[in-house]
């Protein structure tokens, strides 16, 4: 196996174009498992097979626990993306942020606006050995750069479509929402 390396700082180069330029795409499919309910007993599998895990409702929501839940998956993705962006921006600035960590707390709760559900995210960054003013500036830049933080602040293009019987992998119709 080849040794692991961080991504190149050239990923920070600005893109000039009119449309989103896809760099990577993945699909994760969730099925219902024993209860037929993806959140309670689902199975999540990625198209490349790298992700294959059981989903379980956390005890705080009346479930048995003992498995991963969507909020944990979202928090993990958010924290990993923010950490990666932080390290790239620090490298471009000539800073070593060894020992840096990013913790994201995702809360699933009731939305006072519509009475339904809402997610909130709280991000905490630690950079031992980095002067506070330098760290604060780096975190501000990272918040503008990280796609997860951008999505949380601005919204996301979200296309929801019913798959046709003959082609469950391509969407034939949908709506765009931000």
What are the structural domains of the chain? 7-67 (2.20.25.10), 69-178 (3.30.300.20)
pLDDT 10s digits, 126-140: 999 999 999 999 999
Share of the chain above pLDDT 90, in %: 81
What confidence score (pLDDT) does residue 166 get? 66
Q: What is the DSSP letter of 68?
A: B
pTM for the whole thing?
Answer: 0.86
Coil vs helix vs strand at 85:
helix
Q: Where are the beta strands (DSSP E) in 24-145?
A: 28-31, 43-46, 52-54, 101-110, 117-126
Alpha-carbon separation of residue 149 from 51, 111, 120 (angstroms): 23, 20, 12
pLDDT 10s digits, 82-96: 999 999 999 999 999
Coil vs helix vs strand at 14:
coil
């Amino acid at each position: 196996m080849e040794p692991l390396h961080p991504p190149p700082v050239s990923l920070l180069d600005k893109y000039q174009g009119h449309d989103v330029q896809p760099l990577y795409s993945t699909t994760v499919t969730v099925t219902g498992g024993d209860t037929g309910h993806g959140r309670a007993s689902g199975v999540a599998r990625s198209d490349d097979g790298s992700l294959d895990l059981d989903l379980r409702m956390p005890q705080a929501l009346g479930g048995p626990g003992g498995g991963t839940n969507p909020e944990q998956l979202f928090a993990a993705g958010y924290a990993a993306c923010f950490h990666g962006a932080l390290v790239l921006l620090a490298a471009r600035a000539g800073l070593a942020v060894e020992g840096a960590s990013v913790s994201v707390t995702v809360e699933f709760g009731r939305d006072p606006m519509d009475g339904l559900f809402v997610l909130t995210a709280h991000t905490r960054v630690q950079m031992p050995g980095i002067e506070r003013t330098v760290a604060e500036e780096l975190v501000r830049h990272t918040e503008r750069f990280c796609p997860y933080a951008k999505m949380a602040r601005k919204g996301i293009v979200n296309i929801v479509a019913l798959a046709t019987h003959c082609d469950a992998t391509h969407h034939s119709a949908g709506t765009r929402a931000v």
